[in-house]
């Protein structure tokens, strides 16, 4: 401890050389001098967690968990942080909250780095990054079929740890295994089991959140309104989510996947270490940070069966604006509600989640069928739109249209992959799908049976036979991209599909995905968690343009083309408001972090009728609006 002030002095001197043009020296000095006064674990000195611009590892740490090169390039030019606190202990997060608040600095909270608009690592005003990726503990209790998952874990890690324990348990979350649990859950957390189990947030039973005072609250202490808000309301408006408590779901030992298409990976890995019949419903991307993934809801391919990740969270740890660590009890049910889908960064910094594992069969089935426009894809998609949300909740069929080279004349076309996941074996899947959707022509040769943990690799795009150890890889692929989202309440007519294909081919480098709801998603009320897109919602649509050129001209070109596509789709999607998915962050739909009325522009799109309640929760836990970003939730003015 004696050497720490000297080390901090060295940091202060070196950072002043490079930040004098951007930040007043006094602000920098105050923040760094404050940090060692507020951490409480001598075995993990906070000096080892601090990265300033002159640190040799600063740039690599800054870019490590950031994969959208479009926003990273912009941030590198103008919006880099004063410092990064890569927390090694909960008290580091508390100290960073307290000291940033005292120094008048904004905080950005990053778990997996999948924020599509870079709000977890950039800002136009002086700020520091609190990086939660080292806080990735996953503790699974098979007796209660629950798990505590820290916000820095990925969906891949969660799936891995579930599979270690059981081959018939799982968790409904995203198919991307690099999703950070922290952000994934606060946005809802959807995946390929959502029709069976709902979103991730539908399986969240508690959380720990740090509020603007630096206190760690659990579900009880944050209150049910905050607990509601963080499950689908985007947690960063309410605090920093440290961890989620989730309940696992049961799945078959083998499931079927079909395609006609911690980090989450770490979470899955740890579950698989314990059980072959337990899982967790979260994203398919295995590099998603659990922290952000859960606060956005956390959806994956089991959402129809088990709901969202947040629907399976039972507790959480959160650091509030005073630097206190709160669990569900101490944060209170209102805060616990808010961080499950309300975007945790509006309310505090979530350190960990306690999740309830779900039971899955020892075998599941996956399959893939692909058709181009010339092979009748339009007719197939139109039929899929009519039936896929009505199928048995054990069945999840996503479509992924992508632009590809055409044949003969050199023009491009669109290929649509129908990618399926079934919580059971092929002999039960085929009669069900072929009775409701015979046009797909699904055959046994299209299907593969595997364990649930193996299916997470399939959905993440890994080749058959890949070791599950890949789930522990936290580094996502980096690419320039722009994403927008929509919700469908009605079946899109063929004319709408033809318009969609036309604009996709004009853009060129583009892919989409449409995910069916129904099932468990339709059984949970809009107000149960902060994630409001439930009954009446048929499909979630994601549009993504990607490119390799790093020029501003290329970025402008593709962003404008995406805006054109978005405008063309207006007649066919939800209206009043035109709804959007929080974890597909899109600054085009509005930005404001201080005025409630102005924030309604994007708040109503992300949260529908839950936005005012989220703002009321915000007024309770963070009345001075310490936790804010361009699309955070401001305090309700008269609450």
Per residue in 405-437, pLDDT (tens digit) is 877 566 899 999 999 999 999 999 999 999 999
> Both ends of the chain: CA-CA distance in Å?
44
Q: Check pLDDT > 70 for residue 8.
A: no
Tell whether 159 and 265 lie within a shared domain.
Answer: yes
**Cβ neighbours, 10 Å, residue 111:** 44
**Residues pairing with 284 in the sheet:** 175, 176
Asked whether residue 368 is assigned to any structural domain, the reply reads: no
Q: How far apart, in whole angstroms, are the C-alpha atoms of residue 378 and residue 383?
A: 9
Helix (H, G, I), strand (E, B) or coil at 94: helix
Q: Give the rounded percent of residues in the chain with a pLDDT score beyond 90.
A: 59
Of residues 460 and 69, more confidently modeled: 460
Helix (H, G, I), strand (E, B) or coil at 524: coil
Q: How far apart, in whole angstroms, are the C-alpha atoms of residue 31 and residue 135?
A: 22
Active site (annotated) includes residue 62? no
Tell whether 223 and 261 lie within a shared domain.
Answer: yes
Tell whether 289 and 240 lie within a shared domain.
Answer: yes
Tell whether 250 and 299 lie within a shared domain.
Answer: yes
C-alpha 320 chain-centroid distance = 21
Q: Check pLDDT > 60 for residue 198.
A: yes
Of residues 157 and 406, more confidently modeled: 157
Q: How far apart, in whole angstroms, are the C-alpha atoms of residue 271 and residue 192?
A: 17
Asked whether residue 295 is assigned to any structural domain, the reply reads: yes
Tell whether 331 and 200 lie within a shared domain.
Answer: yes
Of residues 35 and 7, more confidently modeled: 35
Q: How far apart, in whole angstroms, are the C-alpha atoms of residue 319 and residue 317?
A: 7
Contact indicator for 177, 286 with CB cutoff of 8 Å: yes
Query: Cα dihedral sign for 376, 378, 379, 380?
Result: positive
Residue that finishes a domain, picked among 359, 377, 396:
359
Tell whether 300 and 164 lie within a shared domain.
Answer: yes
Per mean pLDDT, which range of 111-125, 178-192, 207-221, 576-590 is the poorest? 111-125
What integer is the mean pLDDT of 513-520? 95
Asked whether residue 87 is assigned to any structural domain, the reply reads: yes
Say which residue the tokens 């390039």 belong to. 73
Tell whether 175 and 121 lie within a shared domain.
Answer: no
Residue that finishes a domain, picked among 131, 158, 193:
131
Asked whether residue 383 is assigned to any structural domain, the reply reads: no
Q: Check pLDDT > 70 for residue 2.
A: no
Q: Give the rounded percent of residues in the chain with a pLDDT score beyond 70.
A: 92
Confidence (pLDDT) at 18: 35
**Tokens representing residue 541 in the block:** 């649509």
pLDDT in tens, 77-118: 667 899 999 999 999 999 999 999 999 999 999 887 777 788
Tell whether 49 and 82 lie within a shared domain.
Answer: yes
Q: How far apart, in whole angstroms, are the C-alpha atoms of residue 554 and residue 239?
A: 36
Tell whether 175 and 294 lie within a shared domain.
Answer: yes
**Tokens representing residue 156 in the block:** 């891949």
Tell whether 246 and 316 lie within a shared domain.
Answer: yes
pTM of the model: 0.78
Tell whether 352 and 324 lie within a shared domain.
Answer: yes
Asked whether residue 94 is assigned to any structural domain, the reply reads: yes
Asked whether residue 475 is assigned to any structural domain, the reply reads: no
Contact indicator for 358, 247 with CB cutoff of 8 Å: yes
Confidence (pLDDT) at 473: 79
Confidence (pLDDT) at 397: 97
Could you give the angle at the alpha carbon of 300 between the alpha carbons of 299 and 301, nearest 5°? 140
How many structural domains comprise the chain?
2
Residue that finishes a domain, picked among 131, 148, 164:
131
Which CATH number characterizes residue 200's domain? 3.30.465
Say which residue the tokens 């929080």 belong to. 582
What integer is the mean pLDDT of 441-460? 95
Would you place residue 33 in the very low, low, confident or very high pLDDT band (cuts 50, 70, 90)? very high
Q: What are the φ and ψ backbone dihedral angles of 573, each rounded to 5 degrees?
A: -120, -175
Q: Check pLDDT > 60 for residue 261.
A: no
Per mean pLDDT, which range of 55-59, 135-139, 262-266 is the poorest? 262-266
Contact indicator for 187, 179 with CB cutoff of 8 Å: no
Q: How far apart, in whole angstroms, are the C-alpha atoms of residue 296 and residue 183?
A: 6
Asked whether residue 161 is assigned to any structural domain, the reply reads: yes
Tell whether 207 and 278 lie within a shared domain.
Answer: yes
Query: Which residues constitute the domain of residue 117?
Result: 4-131
Asked whether residue 347 is assigned to any structural domain, the reply reads: yes
Q: Check pLDDT > 50 for residue 19.
A: no
Q: Which of 190, 269, 558, 584 is catalytic?
A: 584
**Cβ neighbours, 10 Å, residue 40:** 12
**Cβ neighbours, 10 Å, residue 570:** 10
Contact indicator for 423, 360 with CB cutoff of 8 Å: yes
Which CATH number characterizes residue 83's domain? 3.30.43.10
């Amino acid at each position: 401890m004696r050497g720490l002030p000297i080390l901090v002095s060295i940091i202060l001197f070196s950072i002043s050389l490079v930040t004098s043009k951007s930040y007043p020296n006094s602000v920098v000095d105050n923040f760094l001098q404050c940090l060692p006064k507020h951490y409480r674990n001598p075995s993990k000195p906070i000096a080892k967690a601090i990265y300033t611009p002159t640190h040799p590892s600063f740039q690599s740490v800054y870019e490590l968990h950031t994969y959208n090169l479009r926003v990273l390039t912009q941030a590198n030019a103008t919006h880099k942080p004063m410092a990064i606190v890569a927390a090694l202990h909960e008290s580091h997060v508390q100290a960073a909250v307290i000291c940033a608040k005292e120094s008048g600095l904004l905080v950005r909270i990053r778990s997996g780095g999948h924020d599509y608009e870079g709000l977890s690592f950039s800002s136009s005003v002086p700020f520091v990054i609190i990086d939660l990726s080292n806080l990735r503990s996953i503790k699974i209790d098979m007796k209660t079929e629950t798990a505590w998952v820290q916000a820095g874990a990925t969906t891949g890690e969660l799936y891995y740890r579930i599979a270690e324990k059981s081959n018939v348990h799982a968790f409904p979350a995203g198919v991307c295994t690099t999703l950070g649990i922290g952000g994934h859950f606060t946005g809802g957390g959807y995946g390929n089991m959502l029709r069976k189990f709902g979103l991730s947030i539908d399986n969240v039973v508690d959380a720990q959140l740090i509020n603007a005072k630096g206190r760690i609250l659990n579900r009880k202490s944050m209150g049910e309104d905050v607990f509601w808000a963080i499950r689908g309301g985007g947690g960063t408006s309410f605090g920093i989510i440290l961890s989620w408590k989730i309940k696992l779901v049961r799945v078959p030992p083998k499931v079927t996947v079909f395609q006609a298409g911690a980090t989450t990976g770490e979470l899955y890995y740890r579950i698989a270490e314990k059980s072959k019949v337990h899982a967790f419903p979260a994203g398919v991307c295995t590099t998603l940070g659990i922290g952000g993934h859960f606060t956005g809801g956390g959806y994956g391919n089991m959402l129809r069966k088990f709901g969202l990740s947040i629907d399976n969270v039972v507790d959480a740890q959160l650091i509030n604006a005073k630097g206190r660590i709160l669990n569900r009890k101490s944060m209170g049910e209102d805060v616990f509600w808010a961080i499950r889908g309300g975007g945790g960064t509006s309310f505090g910094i979530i350190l960990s989640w306690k999740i309830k594992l779900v039971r899955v069969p020892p075998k599941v089935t996956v399959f893939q069928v692909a058709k181009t426009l010339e092979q009748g894809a339009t007719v197939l998609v139109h039929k899929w739109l009519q039936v896929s949300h009505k199928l048995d909740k054990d069945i999840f069929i996503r479509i992924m249209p992508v632009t590809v080279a055409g044949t003969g004349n050199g023009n491009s076309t669109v290929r649509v992959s129908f990618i399926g996941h079934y919580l059971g074996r092929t002999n039960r899947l085929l009669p069900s799908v072929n009775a409701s959707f015979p046009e797909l022509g699904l055959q046994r040769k299209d299907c593969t049976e595997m364990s649930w943990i193996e299916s997470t690799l399939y959905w993440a795009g890994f080749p058959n036979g890949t070791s599950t150890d890949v789930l522990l890889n936290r580094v996502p692929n980096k690419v320039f991209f722009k994403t927008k989202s929509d919700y469908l309440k009605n079946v899109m007519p063929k004319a709408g599909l033809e318009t969609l294909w036309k604009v996709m081919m004009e853009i060129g480098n583009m892919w989409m995905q449409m995910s069916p709801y129904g099932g468990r998603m339709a059984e949970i009320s809009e107000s149960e968690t902060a994630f409001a897109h439930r009954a009446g919602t048929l499909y979630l649509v994601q549009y993504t343009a990607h490119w390799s050129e790093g020029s501003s001209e290329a970025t402008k070109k593709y962003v404008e083309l995406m805006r054109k596509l978005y405008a063309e789709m207006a007649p066919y999607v939800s209206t009043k408001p035109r709804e959007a998915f929080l974890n597909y962050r899109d600054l085009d739909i509005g930005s404001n972090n201080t005025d409630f009325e102005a924030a309604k522009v994007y708040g109503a799109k992300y949260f529908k009728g839950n936005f005012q309640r989220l703002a009321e929760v915000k007024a309770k836990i963070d009345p001075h609006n310490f936790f804010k970003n361009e699309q955070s939730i401001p305090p309700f003015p008269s609450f």
